[in-house]
Structures are given as structure tokens and as C-alpha cells.
Structure 1
């Protein structure tokens, strides 16, 4: 190759390297967000004993993160679009680090919960900023599908690794579950200048003014919804607190829709939902999370309370789930989407996920892990590895670059809301069907809860099959990160603009 040829090819090679470096850093961030969702799991009893916390405060060390995360995703996505994705990502990472370090030194339970809420809010900004940086950096089609598959893979891996890491760190000192995420986030922050920026990072935009009313109604509405779903099993579904909280959430979210329909620069442009694929992907994400997160919650209770597993044994029992999700998302989902389209892959994934839950109906008082639990966990994991990256691809397919932050925030918020609904509903079923006498004690109520999770999966199959367009996001041609397919994605783009 001549010197001239080498010079001409260098910029393209540099761009490709920068893209891969960016993807690595952004994946590290979503790995951290997912890890922090689960890393307290095994350490909670140690924290309770060390700080003399009540069960309510202990629950909010987990729920506070979820409420902050889910409540601020829509606002985080819009701020990323307007203020700049890279800038939003870096500032939110700084907040995440500070909250993590404070959590490691506080000895007051209320302050510790506050740091968890703050970390959740920071994750509510980093997650949509990171995902939209990927969707605007990689061209729509096989390139973006592969990147989103890796992004989804690291998210799933972070959650599973967090369960195991929680047990290991707690054996040393429970405060490490706060300090270690801070160190990982610091590494992400130091490497952040290497992330490929986007046009929005050059000049913050505020066309039509900022939608303050929409931001407040959406953020408070979603936070109340997640909070109400988390607390309802403890309050009682018919209690004034539960009814009042959930009713307030509904009123605020209806107000949000009315505000968005009239504002010149809405937080979430309602026209984005004209895309049938995008709307269906968000609905699939909700019911998928209802099924899988609700199932994980109930299954972990079953193996501990009925089978007598320790917390650390439980973490390792579900480690194969994370590993299978990672492998499937990395090596299968992107290739299958490229060949068969998102509808086929999402439908197949929901079927397999539901089958995995259905196999848990074989449980008994002394279920063998290798023959009863493991096959169900592996099949469920394959389904998850297909669904998770696929709905992410469909959820941002055909959306213009300036709205990628909003689309990313929507699909992540759908997952968080679904997780809250799934855990709340399955916990209620678990309580309502519990028996104190007879051969079904410790088994029957778990089977009923698993059946409800199967119903959620069945709904996801139907929505994916009839709602997502056949070949959406499967292939793309043309240059630039915002280029769309000439056939499948063009109608979606028109609807989103």
C-alpha cells in the first residue's frame, strides 16, 4: 500500500477505533447501572445489623434506586437531546460517584437511602444518554444492531455479576458495595473524553423553550407510579395510601399527555408513538420486565424459603441465567435480527422466556437444581437474551437523531415500570394464594405466581407478533448515524418526525 493510500485510510480507521472505544466506555456505564441495581442483594442483612435499620429502611435501599432511576429516565433522555448527550453523561457520572462515596461513609439509615435515590436519579440520566450516544454513533442496521446487542449484553451481565459481587464484598466489608461502584464509575469518567460526541454536544438547543410542566408531571408521575407499585404489597392494595398514590400517578400522567399535546417543544413528542414498531417495542418491554423480574423475585424467594438456599448460594444458582443472557445477546440476537427481523426474534424470545417460567411449575419441596431448576433457568435466559437487545433495537428504530435520547429514555422507562408492576403483582399473588396447612404449603403459592408470569409472557408474544413490523430494524443502507432503510424504516421515520 502506498503512503497516499495509508493516509487516505487512516481517518476511517481512526473513526472505527473511536467508535469501539466509545462503545466499550458506554457499555461499562450501563454495566455499572445494572450492577448497582443488584449489588446490595446479599449485603442487606449485614447493613441492617451494622446500622440497626428497620425492614422499611432496608427495603428502600433497593427501592429508592429503582424509584429514582425510573422516575428520571424521560427527563434524562430529553436533557441529553437538548443539552448534549456526552455532556449529560459525564455530569451524571460525577453525581453517581459522589452519591456512591457518600453511601460508603454514612451511618444514618435515612441518609444512606437518600444516596441510593440520588444514584438512581444519576442513572436515569446516564442510561438514556449512553444508549442514544450509541444509536447516533452507529449506523442503523447491522452495525447498530451489533452495538445494541453488546450494550444489552453488558447490562444483563452487570445485574447477574452484581448478585455474586455482593456476596464476595460482604464477606470482606459491606461498605465495599458502595465504594467499588464508585471506583468503576471513576474509571468511566476518566475515559469519557474518548467517547465520540454528537452534534447536540456542540451546541445545546432550546427551540420552543424547555417543557417544565411536562418534565415535572412526567417525573413525579412515574416516580409515584413506581413508588406505589413497590409499596402496595406492604400497604395493602385497597389501602388509602396505595389508592391515593396510584391515583395521583394516573392524574399526573394524564396531565403530562395533555401538556405534551399542546407544548411547542414537548418533553416527549407524542408523534413519536405513531411508529407502531416503537410503541409495540415499549409495550413488549413492559410485559417482558413484568414477567422476568417478577419471576426472578419469586424464584429467589422460593429457593431460599422452601429449598433452604443461603443468599450466596441463591446468587450462584442464578448466575447461569446471566451467563446465558450474555452469550445469547452477544452471539445470537444481532445475527438473528439481521436475518429474520425484530418481530420474529422478539416473538421467539418471549415464547422461550415464557416456556422457562412454565417449567418452574415442576417445583416441589425438594427440587433438584440440575434436573428441575437449571433447565428452566437456561431456557428463560435464552429468551431474555433474544428479547432484551431486540426491543432496544425496535424502540429506537427509525427515530431521528435529535429524538434518540427520548426514544432511549422511553424504552428504559418501560422496563423499569414493568419491573415495578411485575414484582408488585407477583408478590400480591404470592400472599393471596399462600396456604398454612396441607401438602401445598411453600409450593402452591409459588406456582400461582409463576402462572401469572407466564401470562405476562403470553401477552408479550401477542404484542410482538401483531404489533412490530416484520422486517423493522433488520437491515439498513446509507451513510450517517441517522440513515434509515429505504423500505422498512422509512415509514417509521416519517411518523417520528
Structure 2
């Protein structure tokens, strides 16, 4: 592979070059899969970690929260760093940090070491995953190929959570919890070696063109503090506690200061022009809303399987397997055809509708439920719905980004997913626990009280998904209108600000 100018798109006419691009895509997706797996594989191993290292119940959450704070707080900055110094360099740096931190996690013999290593893992995860979408849309500028490539990415990013539950169960039960981290070492090293060889070296814009240190400090501090508020004082002491309200107010103030800075800075970290596209803005809002239902389905669903149906860790992972299979089949083989034929919005809305139906159906699952009757239909609906919705959503989220802003757009869509998921999961977990406590006080059995809490969580997740559908129908533009708007905007853009193929052009093919 040869070096090329910043964000120059390689030619697609040479068959060998075309084959190389697809191999490079799979390398990127392996890196993403490793990050996504790690986010869920730990959940299954938490009881074993607690027993081995002597975590108290209240402090055990920090095994997850330390990672989440670093990951969610740094995604936006990591995406912009990819634009400035080169996405390949940021991707490789993230892989190195994540792999070394995984080794430290696996070797951890104390609570402090594990939590600290998880925080560093979050930094590596943010650097690795934030730039991937930006690399994909520059590697695949042709609309049909881009839709197919994003479909592959969306499958890995969304189905990886279900795979993580299965892998975590297998490794924890067959070997030990340490191996959920050690398994990242060969994957990380092999991915880094292939990425070094297969990915084009891009030079980036340079810090002189886009450095905004004050903006970087403000947004990173705001996101980290916001995520910390969600996972610590809000979840433990309630949303109305003095600490939660105070920290939340500071986080919002930092965010406002960041937005003011972006309007006045000569080279802002996050050019606000990216939000001029209604499809980009709407897609990020839909992402934040819809992941609440998905996070709730996986998290609360796993608890339902283990605490009510008494599945073990491996059986819990297997229960989610249909989601992975269906999501993979649709995302990789059919979503590109549907997005190309009908457009992203007409593909997104039915997918969200199926996710909504799955959540409503799961909210009726009984205490003595059976897998075939009460669980499998939910998994089928969820797999098909996510397989349709998330590739289309990724296309919309990247549709209005310029080549020089692709890393930013990639980091932004990942940030909305993580922050939206963290916020939503905190809401679901808090209200579910409160509901269970009330039912227990009223004399309900333990299983019935737990199920009542899970049902409430599924219903709230369904409400967030319904809100996402409303946004999709009212904010996202129809293909013809969006294309006309994009063309009008392009008239005022210079050659450096050429837009990537917008979502509407997908529906023009065929």
C-alpha cells in the first residue's frame, strides 16, 4: 500500500485494490469486535471477579464504570484526533493501549489494579473505535459499496454485544475470568500487524489546521463528568441527590462553554456545521434514544434469564445467539440492498418498529416462561429489527460529513451511543430496582418482584424506542428533499469541503 494525501480516496477500478480495501475493512471490524466484546464479556464474569478479588457489591460496578467513563468521555476527542494526525495512526495507537491494558487486567491480583487497568482499556477502546467509521466512508466513497461496508460494521458493532455474553460464559466457566482479558492479546497483536500492512497511511490535517486544546479539555471533562454522574451518584443516591444535581449542573455548564467555544474558535474541535444536516443530527438523536432499548434488552434480559429462569452464564449467552445470527445475516447480506433500493430512512423505521415490538413482547414474559414460547420470538424480532435499523442509522449519521470531518462524525455517533446507553441503562436499572423493592414490600415473591422490575425496564425501553421512531418520521428528510438541500449547501463549499455521498443517493441506485 502506498501513502496518499490526507483523506484521498483510493481508486476502485483495480480489482486487486478493491480486494485490498475489503480485507482492510475486515481488519478494522476485528478491532471493533474486540472492543465491543470487551464491553459485555465482563458482565458475565462479574460474579467470579467479585469472589476472587473480594469486591463489595457497591464497588464491583467500578469494574464496568471505570471503562465506561474513559471510553464515553474520550470518543469525540479521539475522532477529531483522527482527522488531525491521521486515522490509521490513532487506530493503531488505540490497539496498542487496549492490548497492553488487557494484559494488565488479566494479571490483576487486586481491586485497584483491575479498576485502573480497565480505565486505561477505555482510553484504548475510544481511540480504536472512534475513527473506524471515518476510515470506512473514505475507503468506500461509492454509495452502494459504502452502504454494504457500513452494514458489515454495524453488524459487528451491534451483534458483538450478544457474542460477548456467549464468549464470557464459555471462558469464565471453562477456564477463569482472567482469560476474558488474555484472549485480547493475540487478537490485538494480529489486528495491529494486519492494520499496519493493509491500511493506507493518511497524514491528517495537522494540528495547525484544527488544534483546539481548550475545546478538547471542555468536552472531554464534560463527557467524563456526565458519565461519572450517571454511573455513580445518580445510580447510587438517586437523580435528585445533591451530588448528582451538582455534578450534572457542572457537566452541563462545561458543555455550554464548549459549544460557545466552537462558535468562536478559528479551528474548532467540533465544527458545528456538521449539525446543519437534519439527517446527521436526527440520526445521532435516534442513536441515543434507540440504544436505551437495546442496552435494556441485553442487560435486563440477561438478569431475567439468570435470576428468574435460572440459566447459567453459558445458557444466557446461547439464549441471545439468534439475535447475533439474524443481525449478521441481514447486516452483511441484505441491509446494503435495502438501503440502496429504498433509502436509509425507509429501512430504518421498520427496523425500529420491530425492536419496539420485541420490547413490548418481552414485557409480558412470565415467571415460568419457556425459551421457545416466551423468549425466542423476542430474539427473532430484535435480531431482524436491529439488522435493518442500525446499518441504515450508521449511513445517516455519516451522510453529511465532509471528508475532513469524517473522523469527527464517526466519534460523534459512537459518543451518542455510549452516553445515551449509559444514561438509559442507569434510568432503567434505578427504576427497575425501585419497582422490585415496592413489589417485595407488598408481599410478592422474589421472582415475581424481580420480574415486575424487569417488565418496567422493558416498557421504558420501548418508550425510548417509540420516541426514536417519532424523530425518524419528523426530523429525517425524504431522499429527494435531502439531496436538494445537500446540493444547495454544496454550492457554497470550496473544493476542500466536498461532501461525502449523502444518504439520498443510495435510493437513486436501482
User: TM-score, normalised to structure 1's length?
Assistant: 0.91
Structure 2 partner of 1:195: 198
Deviation at 1:209, TM superposition (A): 5.4
1:77 touches 1:129 (CA, 8 Å); kept in 2? yes
Residue correspondence of structure 1 range 33-432 to structure 2 within 5 A? 33-170=35-172, 171-197=174-200, 201-202=202-203, 204-208=205-209, 210-231=211-232, 232-432=234-434
Give the Cα–Cα distance (whole angstroms) in 2 for the partners of residues 196 and 175 of structure 1.
31
Give the Cα–Cα distance (whole angstroms) in 2 for the partners of residues 419 and 484 of structure 1.
28
Deviations 1:144-166 (A, max 9, x none): 11001011112233222221111
Give the Cα–Cα distance (whole angstroms) in 1 for the partners of residues 499 and 261 of structure 2.
31
Give the Cα–Cα distance (whole angstroms) in 2 for the partners of residues 340 and 454 of structure 1.
26
Deviation at 1:438, TM superposition (A): 4.1
Q: 1:441 to 1:483 in 2, by over 3 A?
A: closer
Give the Cα–Cα distance (whole angstroms) in 1 for the partners of residues 225 and 144 of structure 2.
38
Give the Cα–Cα distance (whole angstroms) in 2 for the partners of residues 380 and 280 of structure 1.
22
2:36 touches 2:157 (CA, 8 Å); kept in 1? yes
Asked if 1:445 corresponds to 2:453, the answer is yes
Give the Cα–Cα distance (whole angstroms) in 2 for the partners of residues 446 and 193 of structure 1.
45
Give the Cα–Cα distance (whole angstroms) in 2 for the partners of residues 446 and 254 of structure 1.
35
1:140 touches 1:484 (CA, 8 Å); kept in 2? no
Residue correspondence of structure 1 range 466-477 to structure 2 within 5 A? 466-471=474-479
Q: 1:150 to 1:203 in 2, by over 3 A?
A: closer
Q: Secondary structure at the residue paired with 2:43?
A: coil
Give the Cα–Cα distance (whole angstroms) in 1 for the partners of residues 175 and 322 of structure 2.
24
2:219 touches 2:258 (CA, 8 Å); kept in 1? yes
Give the Cα–Cα distance (whole angstroms) in 1 for the partners of residues 359 and 310 of structure 2.
21
1:51 touches 1:107 (CA, 8 Å); kept in 2? yes
Structure 2 partner of 1:462: 470
Give the Cα–Cα distance (whole angstroms) in 1 for the partners of residues 416 and 426 of structure 2.
15
Deviations 1:242-276 (A, max 9, x none): 22222221111111111111111111111110100
Give the Cα–Cα distance (whole angstroms) in 2 for the partners of residues 257 and 481 of structure 1.
22
User: Which stretch shifts more, 236-245 or 403-412?
Assistant: 236-245
Give the Cα–Cα distance (whole angstroms) in 1 for the partners of residues 88 and 408 of structure 2.
15
1:209 touches 1:265 (CA, 8 Å); kept in 2? yes
Deviation at 1:13, TM superposition (A): 1.8
Give the Cα–Cα distance (whole angstroms) in 1 for the partners of residues 451 and 53 of structure 2.
34
Deviations 1:471-495 (A, max 9, x none): 2899x9xxx99765599469xxxxx
1:208 touches 1:264 (CA, 8 Å); kept in 2? no
Deviation at 1:211, TM superposition (A): 0.8
1:138 touches 1:481 (CA, 8 Å); kept in 2? no
Give the Cα–Cα distance (whole angstroms) in 1 for the partners of residues 397 and 358 of structure 2.
25
Give the Cα–Cα distance (whole angstroms) in 2 for the partners of residues 103 and 459 of structure 1.
39
User: Which stretch shifts more, 60-69 or 263-272?
Assistant: 60-69
Deviation at 1:37, TM superposition (A): 0.6
Give the Cα–Cα distance (whole angstroms) in 1 for the partners of residues 500 and 70 of structure 2.
34
Deviation at 1:117, TM superposition (A): 1.2
Q: 1:27 to 1:95 in 2, by over 3 A?
A: same
Structure 2 partner of 1:6: none
Deviation at 1:25, TM superposition (A): 0.6
2:141 touches 2:501 (CA, 8 Å); kept in 1? no
Q: Secondary structure at the residue paired with 2:168?
A: helix
Give the Cα–Cα distance (whole angstroms) in 2 for the partners of residues 276 and 185 of structure 1.
37
2:431 touches 2:453 (CA, 8 Å); kept in 1? yes
1:150 touches 1:330 (CA, 8 Å); kept in 2? yes
Count of paired positions = 477
Unpaired segments ≥5 residues, structure 2: 1-10, 487-495
Structure 1 partner of 2:24: 22
Give the Cα–Cα distance (whole angstroms) in 1 for the partners of residues 393 and 287 of structure 2.
7
Deviation at 1:212, TM superposition (A): 1.0
Give the Cα–Cα distance (whole angstroms) in 1 for the partners of residues 497 and 315 of structure 2.
45
